[in-house]
Amino acid sequence: MTGEILAEGTIFQIRREGTLAVCEMKNAESVPPEEGARCAQLIRSTLTGDVLTRNSDYSALLIDVRKGPPAFGPKTRSELASIFERAGELDFTVGVLTSSSATQRLQFGNLCKEFASKVSLVGSDESQLTNFCKDVERAEPPIQE
């Protein structure tokens, strides 16, 4: 992990890589659901307060959940929905890099479709997602499932 660290918790790190904001999840084995929800709140407040803003100096957000839990619960979903809703309101590019977990891809895919369908992409191909986030000059990006 490289770049300026914006926020860090038990199961995540948010950092700047050039003009890209990267939120990388890690699955700490013994983290109770309450801690996961607390981390989701911190992620939401950092991203909506520092990254997903009008006139942001970030070009895109890449959320890397490959090392994260294979699924998230309702409290975490609520926090994530706020992030994707804000991204959709601002037409802010968001890529979600998932593991091979079908549940993970489905959950994040549903968030993207519901809140940010024109500016988001979900998939497991790292180079495709990185390029998607770096190429912010597109009309209507596809959503992968």
| Residue-range domain boundaries for the chain | 4-134
What percent of the chain stands above pLDDT 90?
Answer: 55
Q: How confident is the model at residue 139 (pLDDT cuts 50, 70, 90)?
A: very low
Q: Do the beta carbons of residue 14 and residue 23 sit within 8 Å?
A: yes
Name the 3-class secondary structure at 41: helix
- Domain 4-134 has what CATH class? alpha beta
Average pLDDT in the chain: 87
